[in-house]
Chain A
Amino acid sequence: MTLGTWLALCIAVILAAEAVRVLRHRGLRQDRWRRFFRQRTTSWGLGMLLFLVIIAVAAPLVAPFDPSKQLDIVHLKNHAPSWTFLLGTDVFSRDVWSRLVFGARVSLGIGALGALVAVSLGTLVGAVAGYYQRWIDAVLMRGVDVGLALPRIFVLLMAVALWDGLPFPALVIVIGLTSWFGTSRLVRAEVLALRQRDFVAAARALGANTGRVIFRHVLPNAAAPIIVSAALSVGNVLLLEASLSFLGIGIKPPDASWGNMIADGAPSIYTALWSTLFPGLAISLVVMSLNAVADGVRDALDPHEEPA
């Protein structure tokens, strides 16, 4: 670690902390934001996520070494954490901290994009099924039943293992396509309840077309469960990607993802714990932060619920 990378790291921490502080401060004035920040874990989670996003974006500044460069396979293999190698080096003498930082791009990217695909598709299907009802609803929901009964890990394993070396965008789409079933049920239930409400009838009476009614009137009122489910899906997708990469069929080496870092480190876990420990901690930190933020969103957007 050089002075420059320490400096960049400090700036990232300060930026994240400051952003959370500003949001909290602003939040004091608005009821909704105050509820969002009511639990301390939400602030920590949000700060953590912001920090990770910042270092993922600014990866070249924060990482002292090239993530896939084998520095010195003879002398620096499985080097313990030190001031030069903050989190040690792995079995191929690559710097774990640099790989972690660049891996954040891949892992967070897959998590966010995969969840985006899943939640958009789930919302669309759920809204259409709930709004049109009748046979469209029946057909779509039977499809969702089948999707929920599909052993998802099998389908993913098949898709990823059989189409060998799936590129990043395809991986995102495949994961997204197998993760939307739960969301669509959730959204459908919301839409079924909302479409009976007077404001929907009013919008229709004013001559709004179906698309407008669904997207401008119904869905915004179903925002709470959609946002919560989006936050949770990011975590789920991230865990899925990690599992696939751990089994050796997700992100292909030498590119770093947190899952394949664990896979690389696992054989030498007895002698070089750090190369397995830190990527796993990173995954759990992200998932934990997302869960905490989801709790906050639930508190903020659902005023009916008693504070827990």
Chain B
Amino acid sequence: MTAATWLLRRLVASVGIIFAVVTFVFLLIHLAPGKPCTFGEQADPVVCKQLIQQFGLDQPILEQYWRYLVAWAHGNLGYSFSLHRPVLDAIAETLPFTLQLAGAALVIDFLLGLGLGIYQAARVNRLPDVVLSNVTLFIYSLPTFWLALLLLLVFGEKLGWFPVGGPNDVIFCPSVNSFYCVLDRLWHLVLPAATLGLVGAAGTARFQRAAMLEVAAQDYVRTARAKGLPERRVVLRHQLRNALLSFITRFGLAFPFLLTGAVLTETIYAWPGMGRLAFEAILTRDYPLVTATALIASTVVVAGNLLADILLGLADPRLRVRAGADIDVVTA
């Protein structure tokens, strides 16, 4: 099987997976008890009935599903009941915030995690390694929302180094339109990104340390040492390059973690991202908004996996030879 057919097959499978996820979410939320209008402030029964008729919520579920799919095929994600605006607008507004948060968290996660993992593996079982192993084990075990609260307390409230929430300074920078405001955004981004990034980095460091040690036992590393190569070159060229293969897999798995973390982190830091949007949409039973956020979330997860597989194929020539066998990404 050539790379092109492999890619095509994976793409088709990915679309199928996303479709199944959306269908599942659609059914789940429509089968749940309670209608969009049965609670909230504007529970006027007349308005409620009108709304239900207007959005066709009184029709059989299969019919609703079909109409929904047809609307999607026309690029129409629907109209949000709770926000009174098109779903697409609401998502277009919040998605950049989540991407900024997740992007910054990923950078912290990978730079810090990889660095620590490599450093620890080079000094295995010596004092810095033992200390760092315990520290990363502890941070890895922290509930993200609890860490968020503590960081907010220490660095936001007590020390006052960082703002206590929100994406920007409401007075000087209502929108990001100058260099100062970009800095302002980054300053507001530090605590939320650090919350997600630190927990991720601790996991990455543990993972990378193990991967480096696994490679360290290989014959080609011993050969490299025996050739008299400098230690730095052995570690960076021979060990690291091979240990990075399993790291690529981890990269694909980082997205679900970021999404889950985003819901909580965005809620605590008042970050107007998609995680918070989704959470509020669920609480207000905003069907179109929930399904649309599920679509985006599952697309991100599937795309992350696909990207990791493609990168793995590019990085590891052994996999290209037996591309016929599906590359199974094992998740723990």
Contact = CB atoms under 8 A, between A and B. Distances in A.
Contacts of A235: 141
A124 B167 CA distance: 46
Interface string A262-297: 100010011001001100100111011001100000
A157 B263 CA distance: 10
Interface residues of B, number: 56
A154 B18 CA distance: 14
Interface of A: 41, 142, 145-146, 148-155, 157-159, 161-164, 181-182, 185-186, 189, 229, 232, 235, 239, 242-243, 246-247, 259, 262, 266, 269-270, 273, 276-277, 280, 283-285, 287-288, 291-292, 306, 308
Nearest to A263: B145
A243 B264 contact: yes
Interface in B148-177: 149-150, 153, 157
A151 B141 contact: no
Contacts of B283: 161
Contacts of A145: 13, 17
A150 B26 CA distance: 12
Contacts of B20: 146
A146 B332 contact: no
A56 to B, nearest CB: 19
B17 A149 contact: yes
A146 B285 CA distance: 23
Interface stretch (B61-69, B76-84, B182-190, B294-302): B294-302
B330 interface: yes
Interface of B: 13, 16-18, 20-21, 24-25, 28-29, 32-34, 124, 134, 137-138, 140-146, 149-150, 153, 157, 209-210, 213-214, 217, 256, 259-260, 263-264, 267, 278-279, 282-283, 285, 290, 293-294, 297-298, 301-302, 305, 328, 330-332
A254 to B, nearest CB: 21
Contact of A182 (B13, B33, B143, B331): B331
Given A153-B259, A243-B260, A243-B264, 7 more contacts: A142-B16, A151-B294, A159-B32, A162-B285, A186-B330, A243-B143, A243-B145
A148 B301 contact: yes
Contacts of A239: 143
